[in-house]
Chains A and B, each alone.
Chain A
Amino acid sequence: MSPPSTSVEPAAGHGDHPRFLAHHFDTPGQQFSAGKLGMWIFLVTEILLFGGLFCWYAVYRSNHPEIFEYAHRYLDKTLGAINTLILITSSLTMAWGVRCAQLGQRRLLVLCLALTLAGGSGFLGIKYVEYRQKWREGLLWASRFNPKEPPPAAAPATPKARPGKPASAWPPGLTEKPQALAPAATPAQREPVPQHVGLFFSIYFMMTGLHGIHVIAGMTAIGWILVRSVQGHFGPLYFGPVDYVGLYWHLVDLVWIYLFPLLYLIH
């Protein structure tokens, strides 16, 4: 893996003596294809890893749809949608970063990677807000599911609350809990609460948690190539690491594209 030490020029990503061409590869193209093949095989193992969890989800949802229809109302759709948009945007900046690396646009590459990192941080920040809220309200996995409040009313009851008197009904709810609870609790108490609702949150925390770990891993990798791009390591003949890390980041995005509707948007 040690690069040939013949060149000392930091920006020597071009020409006849590529600095980062490992000695066991004949050409930069061969090196790039080999690395890319390895990355894709790794991504396949990631797909199968998440596949097990998606299978778990599918089995429990097909057996107990009532749990999912009830419990998903505890999740904040708006935060989920914002996080989806953040991840999509960070995928754009990552893909643009690969383009910059291919064209040797160093400053733009650094900017794209920094924006991608910012996107990842934003995603994790919002995830933290969601987790903290779930923790405080006792919305945890399996037997740790001890909700303090029923979930917001289901779709048919919402139109009554919203267009009615938004100015008078909602602002007190933010400060005084008993007043806000009174109208919301009446329809919710009538509806039967399914058993084992904690199952939904076991799945929720396991899937979003594993996904969050992948976001952290992706950000670590992006941090690594950010440092290397500041040092000017990447250019038209050597941009493999940017490309591979990009592939990983897009896979993290792909998983979230499915998690968001499956967990937040159940009808």
Chain B
Amino acid sequence: MSTDASAIEIQSSVPEHGPLGHVVPPAVLLAVFAALVVLTVVTVAAAGQWFNFGSWSLWIALTIATVKASLVALYFMHLRYDQPFYGLIFVTALLFLAIFLGIVLLDVSGYQPDIQGG
């Protein structure tokens, strides 16, 4: 149990920092979890029969999903506390994904008049 003993030392001296960086406090973990649960309920409710946002519903659902994804990335995946380089790698991937999707959809929109209904 020597590991546990050293753990107690670290905990008592600096609660949010181990020797290799930041340790996420339980309150933050639980708050993020609660927010994710609430947002899941919200996104299900927004798609339910009580609301009708029409063509906006896709964008509402995607916005909620992006807020959830950001919470997971920033706190559970620790990006908020890490050196920004990891975040830069992640954001670069998303940027290239956006270019990929954006240009493909731009092309697709050019063919809309020729598309026959399913």
A and B associate in one complex: yes
List chain A positions with a Cβ less than 8 A from chain B: 9, 11-14, 28-29, 32-33, 36-37, 40-41, 43-44, 47-48, 51, 54-55, 58-59, 62-64, 66-67, 77, 81, 84-85, 88-89, 91-92, 94-96, 98-99, 102-106, 155, 158-159, 194-197, 199, 232, 235-237, 239, 243, 246-247, 250-251, 253-254, 257-258, 260-262, 265-267
Chain B proximity of A15: nearest CB distance (Å): 8
Q: How would you classify the secondary structure of chain A's contact residues: helix, strand, loop or mixed? A: helix
A-B contact pairs, 8 of them (CB 8 A): A33-B83, A47-B94, A59-B104, A62-B108, A95-B75, A254-B73, A265-B47, A267-B54
Contacts of A158 in B (CB 8 A): 49
Q: How would you classify the secondary structure of chain B's contact residues: helix, strand, loop or mixed? A: helix
Contact assessment for B77 and A250 in the assembled complex, using a CB-CB cutoff below 8 Å: yes
Checking B3, B72, B93 against A47 with a beta-carbon cut-off of 8 angstroms, the contacting residue is: B93
- Chain B contacts with A in 1-36, Cβ cutoff 8 A: 1-4, 6-7, 10-11, 18-20, 23-24, 26, 29-30, 32-33, 36
Contacts of A253 in B (CB 8 A): 72, 76
Contact assessment for A194 and B20 in the assembled complex, using a CB-CB cutoff below 8 Å: no
Contact assessment for A58 and B104 in the assembled complex, using a CB-CB cutoff below 8 Å: yes
Chain B proximity of A211: nearest CB distance (Å): 14
Interface size range of chain B in the complex: 35 or more
Contact assessment for A106 and B3 in the assembled complex, using a CB-CB cutoff below 8 Å: yes
Contact assessment for B118 and A44 in the assembled complex, using a CB-CB cutoff below 8 Å: no
